[in-house]
Structure 1
Amino acid sequence: MKHLDCHKNIIYLWQIHSHMQSTYYKIKDKIISSERGQLFFPDDFSTLGSSDAVRSALVRLCQNEIILRIAQGIYYYPKSDTKWGSGIIPPSMEEIANSIAKRDKIRIIPVGAYVLNILGLSTQVPANIVFVTDGSPRRISIGKGKGILFKHTSEMRNFAYQSQMMLLIVTALREIGENNVTPEQLEIIKTHLEKVSLEDFQRDIQLAPIWVRKLLQNK
């Protein structure tokens, strides 16, 4: 009887090992058939094996340097600079944030120093970038001292803009403040406004604070 139990245990362990091996190669094939520079989450492979098998496969793929773990539960199929030979091109913080938003089916808007940097209104490059979201608040640590912060907002009009550029401009102006906008910043904003269609401008301007409306309509 003991011999039979031992035999059953061996078969069971072999089946687990076989399942994990199968999951590993399925995940590996899916990743290497994808475009380099893509981000992955464990949920992307939920149909290829159990959660334990998927987790084990991702650890092994990292060990084999096929993918990189850039944050908890976030993996990167590295893209390299073949032109200048400067090595791996890491994903931008915005790419990571957008991938998380897509996975979680939430909307995000860059705010703070980050939105000013995007539009060239500030040279400050924040180590931690902030987004407001209609989803849950959280912080994602990306490397040493860097991170992405999602802050929940109940201001749903923020997500009603048709033009992404108009959204960024209005958000940036609100960040700067009514009496703090410099002539240099206004010139930069003017160049960005040229990328917004008249139709989008006329619709989206109604969503902006009154002082922002007056400022932009005078440009």
Structure 2
Amino acid sequence: MTRRRTIEELISEARPGDVFVPADFAETGSADAVRKALSRLVSAGELERPIRGLYRKPRRSAFLGKGVPASPDEIAEALARKFEWHIAPYGDTALNRLGVDPQVPSVVRYVSDGPYRTYQYGPYTIEFRHTANRDLSRLNPVAATVVQALKALGKSGVTGEKLDIISSRLDDSQMDKLISGTRNATSWVREAVREMQERRTQNA
């Protein structure tokens, strides 16, 4: 029989900066025992609690000599994992993640198949907007982000320059999955992806 591993062992094997949810440690004991153990590790400085219900192995910058906080994306992805949501960056957040808009928004927005929720994390507001859009479940995270970015631009806002910027963030495999995943998307989104691929080939 395999020995039950401890929370301390699992955390020691994790990378600095990894974010955990209590369910990650379900194999180590009961929910109450996990919660108490995590609280003890927070008190001991072995873990930090960026927001309620999430735990993180501290990460320090050797150059700056101080702790590096989690990014809003890391927090959002951990929340999605905790609640078993599918999410994708939305609006200005999607445009920023793909380099179309260099300004980091103070309200970091995602579409989600979960309920509408907002969280405060440092200087950021993390907002989840409910959508029944099946793109979230049938597209991989990169493709879903591209689709949300295109929708944020709108049909009239899509230009060759912006398509080239988005394309530059994708490797060949991601581009192929984007093409196959958007075959049943709204016609103008499908056409924008096709143009992106054509421009990518011409510029290669």
What is the TM-score of this pair, normalised by structure 1? 0.72
Find the structure with the greater CA-based Rg: 1
1:112 deviates by 1.3
Match of 2:119 among 120, 133, 140: 140
Separation in 1, partners of 2:108, 2:156: 25
Residue 114 of structure 2 aligns to a residue whose secondary structure is coil
> Could you say if the C-alpha distance between residues 117 and 78 of structure 1 is closer, same or farther in structure 2, counting changes exceeding 3 Å?
same
Separation in 1, partners of 2:145, 2:160: 18
Which residue of structure 2 lines up, in the alignment, with residue 119 of structure 1? Answer: 98
CA contact (8 A) 1:166 1:196 kept: no
Which residue of structure 1 lines up, in the alignment, with residue 61 of structure 2? Answer: 81
Mapped pair 1:69 → 2:49 = yes
> Could you say if the C-alpha distance between residues 183 and 85 of structure 1 is closer, same or farther in structure 2, counting changes exceeding 3 Å?
same
Gapped runs of 5+ residues in structure 2? 1-5, 200-204
Which residue of structure 1 lines up, in the alignment, with residue 193 of structure 2? Answer: 216
CA contact (8 A) 1:62 1:69 kept: yes
1:102 deviates by 2.4
Which residue of structure 2 lines up, in the alignment, with residue 100 of structure 1? Answer: 79
Letter in 1 for 2:124: K
Separation in 1, partners of 2:181, 2:138: 8
1:149 deviates by 1.8
Which residue of structure 2 lines up, in the alignment, with residue 179 of structure 1? Answer: 156
Match of 2:40 among 46, 60, 63: 60
1:215 deviates by 3.1
Letter in 2 for 1:66: E
Separation in 1, partners of 2:156, 2:31: 57
Query: Deviation string for 1:37-93 (max 9, x for gaps)?
Result: 222233444543562x544443332232221110011111112223x2442222222
CA contact (8 A) 1:115 1:172 kept: yes
Mapped pair 1:48 → 2:25 = no
CA contact (8 A) 1:110 1:130 kept: yes
CA contact (8 A) 1:132 1:150 kept: yes
1:177 deviates by 1.2
With 196-205 and 71-80 compared, the bigger mean Cα shift is at: 196-205
Separation in 2, partners of 1:30, 1:194: 32
Which residue of structure 1 lines up, in the alignment, with residue 183 of structure 2? Answer: 206
Calculate the aligned-residue CA RMSD, in Å. 2.8
Gapped runs of 5+ residues in structure 1? 1-25
1:188 deviates by 1.2
Query: Deviation string for 1:89-112 (max 9, x for gaps)?
Result: 222221222222223322111111
Separation in 1, partners of 2:11, 2:182: 43
Separation in 1, partners of 2:174, 2:15: 33
Letter in 2 for 1:74: L
Separation in 2, partners of 1:27, 1:199: 39
Residue 140 of structure 1 aligns to a residue whose secondary structure is strand
Which residue of structure 1 lines up, in the alignment, with residue 145 of structure 2? Answer: 168
Letter in 2 for 1:48: G
With 105-114 and 189-198 compared, the bigger mean Cα shift is at: 189-198
CA contact (8 A) 2:99 2:166 kept: no
